[in-house]
Each structure stands twice: as structure tokens, then as C-alpha cells.
Amino acid sequence: MGVSNATDGESALISAVRVGDTALVKSLLQEDSDPGVREAAFCLAVRTYAGHIAQLLLQYGADAGQCGPDELLPLREAVESGSPALVEALLDHRIRGRYPASELLEMRDLARRRHEVGAGAELRHRTGSQDALVRTRVQDDEYYHVDELTLGGMSVRDGHAAILTDLEELLAIRPSFEELMARALHHHQDHTAWGRATILLAHRRDQDTWAAAAALRTHPGPSHRLFGAEVLRLTHLFDDRDADAFAGPALDIFTDWSRKETDVAVLTEVLTALGEHADPRADEALLAHAGHPDGALRRTVAAGLGTWSELPGSSDGVREALLVLMTDADTAVRREACLTVGRSRDRAPVLAEAMAALLGDEDRQVQVAAVMGLALHDDERCVEAARRLGPQQSGVLAEEHHLDAVWRYEWRRDGR
């Protein structure tokens, strides 16, 4: 990797980890890096409580087993920190054997106590301060957030429920549906505790779990309905068995549910689930909400319409809805509708013209989606449009992937 952008001979990667620059770490890891530097960077990330960066380094090939126990944070300190990402990094399969079952059980009990007491109360106990807690929402890993609480110069994250769930799974302890749900409902949907609970329940793939989640669709509390919808959706999504036993029941539940749900967040989850079904009934249910006043919900409709159809063309209703959504006032809706049309097998000329019209959109990412869509539809206009876009924006990986479609089109066109 060399020492560019580094000081005192320190590698650029180590420097980026030291200052906690996740974007720079990711950019540097995409280059050809020295494995030894990756391991040193992993050790540093763990010691500095940067669990999200430690996980990123593992994804890019860092070998946790090359770090000695004295080079890493003690597992107890990681659990105390409340960062699920940090604990998960220390429980990487290459070093998990360093922790005997007795220690893992002790850490399970510690995580449970911290979860039950609450991160704020624990922080007050440690500092003795009665000042106002400062609560900040932070990204803990690639997908989920936690809250970080600060008081009296000390900080702790509120991810102990997720840590507890992870340790229980590692120890083959099976908490009940109700207990996992209670841990999740204490937080928002993109909190790690919520994600750990829904994913774990979805992977159980048993009728008791399915029935418990399905029963929540009539619960008076929107958060309970949202939790149940996500468990049902993920159960079907993760079921890769040939029989696909949950496909039919899921479609029946979500089709009916979409007609009755009034909460926008829950309805969005239900429509997301319908977009994962290859069935005309799913498209019909989505179409009913194509004009919903909430932009995020319209985006969900745009993402799900017709995307799983194996037919070469869309239904008239789906095509017309997508054409309208491609002119939506909401930028994200236009972009999602354009991506859906681009990936569709429907080659109706009116769709290509609609994508071409978006080449002049005020938003660059909508333009990028239109360029990719035209390339996938073997439309020559994508080449000049890509040239006008200029260099790819640094760090926008989706843009790089989408614009690669132009290169692939030219390859097909030229018979290479």
C-alpha cells in the first residue's frame, strides 16, 4: 500500500484507522494492500473501539488470528462498551476459540445486566453525574445504528441487547419469541437489537415462530405490527429451500395486510415484502399504492413493481404506473422507477423513451440510472450520455456499478 498520505513512515491505512475515517479505510482496502498492514490495522481498530472499521477490515481479508491476545481489547471491555460490532469483531471465528465457554457465559450475564439496567443508568452510576445525558445516533456496523450516550466525559453505546442476542446464539441458548421482540421494541427499526432479533427469528423457519409473527398483524401497536411484518418477510426471503414453504402463506398474508394497514412504516414493510414475490397478485397490491402521498412508500412501490416477472413484458398497469413514477416529484422515486425499468425484461419502446427523457434530470443519480437502463436495453444513446456525465464520482460504488453497464453494452455491440 505504500506510505502515501501518511506521516512518520506510517502506512496510509493505519493512519486512516487511527483517525477513524471509514470512507478512506474502505477506499484504501480496495487497492492492493499488504496483508500484514491489514492485520495491524485490525488490531488498532479493535483497541480504539472502532468496531465498524474492524469488521470492514475482516471483510477485506484481515486475519484476526494474526493478532495476539495482548494486541486486542479484552472481551469484557468490548461488552462494556455496548458496541455489537466491536464484540462481533472479537468473536471472529479465527479467534473465537480463545474464549472458553465459561467466559462467554459470564459475558452473556454481563450483557444481560447492562441491557436490563440501561446504558444511561449505568453511565450515571459510573460517573456519579446527574447532568443531562447526550444521546447521539451512530453507525455501529455496515447496516445498523445504535445510540451513543455521553456523560461526564465517558461514552457508552446502547447495543447490549444485541450483544446479548449474539452471545446467546453462540452458546446455543434459544430465547423466546417474546423476549427477542421485547429487546427489539425498545429501539428503532434500524437499531442493531432490532435487526439481530428479526434475523434470528426468521432463520428459525418453524411454524411456532411464523404463527407468533403472523398474529401481530392485528396488534394495536404499530411497532408490534412492524416487527411481525419484518419477521414474516425475512422468513420467506431467507428460505432457500426448493419447497419454499413460506411463499404461499406470506403472499396471502401480505396481500390482505396491504389493504388494511394504515401506518406508513408498517405498510412500507408490507409492500417491500410484496415486491419480493413473483406473482401478479403482488403487483396488483403494489399498484393500489402507486399514488400514495408518502414519497418513501412510492419509492417502495417503484422498486417492487414487476421486478420478479419472468415474462418478457410487463402488464399494462405496471408499465403505466412505472411511467408515472419516473416523472415523480420525488428524486428517489424517479431514480428507483428508472432502475426498475432498466432491469426489467420489458423492452417496450415507450420505456426506453422515458429513460432517455431522464438523461436531462436535475439529479445526477437519476441520470446515472437512466444511462444504466438504456445500456441494459441495448440503446446506443447510453454511450454519449455516459460521456456527458464525465468521471465517476469518487466513493459512489453504485455509480461505478451502474456505469459499467455502458462498457458491457459496447462489448456486446462490437461483438467482442
Query: Which residue, of 277, 309, 331, is where some domain finishes?
Result: 277
Question: Of the given ranges (24-38, 158-172, 251-265, 324-338), which has the lowest mean pLDDT?
Answer: 24-38
Q: How far is CA 233 from CA 42, 229, 247, 253, 287, in A?
A: 35, 6, 10, 10, 19
Domain membership flag for residue 399: no
Kindly state whether residues 176 and 269 are assigned to the same domain: no
Phi, psi of 102 (to 5 degrees): -65, -40
Kindly state whether residues 189 and 222 are assigned to the same domain: no
> For residue 313, what pLDDT is reported?
62
Domain limits for position 12: 1-72
Kindly state whether residues 21 and 102 are assigned to the same domain: no
Question: Of the given ranges (97-106, 235-244, 393-402), which has the lowest mean pLDDT?
Answer: 393-402
Kindly state whether residues 188 and 107 are assigned to the same domain: yes
Q: Does residue 190 surpass a pLDDT of 90?
A: yes
Higher-confidence position of 97 and 2: 97
Kindly state whether residues 17 and 66 are assigned to the same domain: yes
- The whole-number average pLDDT for the span 34-44 is 92
Rounding to the nearest 10 degrees, give the CA dihedral for residues 159, 267, 251, 304.
-90
Q: How far apart are CA 227 and CA 386, in angstroms?
A: 42
Interior/surface letters 377-399, b for 16+ CB within 10 angstroms, e for the rest: bebebbbebbeebeebeeeeeeb
Domain membership flag for residue 99: yes
> For residue 316, what pLDDT is reported?
87
Domain membership flag for residue 350: no
Kindly state whether residues 229 and 251 are assigned to the same domain: yes
Kindly state whether residues 100 and 197 are assigned to the same domain: yes
Q: What is the pTM of this model?
A: 0.91
Round the average pLDDT of the chain to a whole number and report it: 92
Domain membership flag for residue 253: yes
Kindly state whether residues 154 and 189 are assigned to the same domain: yes
Kindly state whether residues 156 and 125 are assigned to the same domain: yes
pLDDT tens-digit profile of 353-391?
A: 999 999 999 999 999 999 999 999 999 999 999 999 988
Kindly state whether residues 100 and 182 are assigned to the same domain: yes
Q: DSSP 3-state assignment of 308?
A: coil
pLDDT tens-digit profile of 42-88?
A: 999 999 999 999 999 999 999 999 999 999 999 999 999 999 999 99
Domain membership flag for residue 292: no
Q: How far apart are CA 79 and CA 123, in angstroms?
A: 14
Q: DSSP 3-state assignment of 63?
A: coil
Q: How many domains does the chain have?
A: 3
Kindly state whether residues 194 and 210 are assigned to the same domain: no
CA 33 to chain centre: 26
Kindly state whether residues 184 and 212 are assigned to the same domain: no
Domain membership flag for residue 209: yes
pLDDT tens-digit profile of 263-293?
A: 999 999 999 999 998 889 999 999 999 999 9
Query: Which residue, of 153, 174, 201, is where some domain finishes?
Result: 201
Domain membership flag for residue 388: no
pLDDT tens-digit profile of 302-337?
A: 999 986 655 566 688 999 999 999 999 999 999 999
Please report which helix (H) or strand (E) contains residue 15, including its range: helix 12-18
Q: How far apart are CA 50 and CA 44, in angstroms?
A: 8
Q: Does residue 8 surpass a pLDDT of 70?
A: no
pLDDT tens-digit profile of 110-141?
A: 999 999 999 999 999 999 999 999 999 999 99
14: Cβ contacts below 8 Å, ≥ 6 apart: 6, 37, 40, 41, 44
Q: What is the CATH number of the domain that holds 48?
A: 1.25.40.20
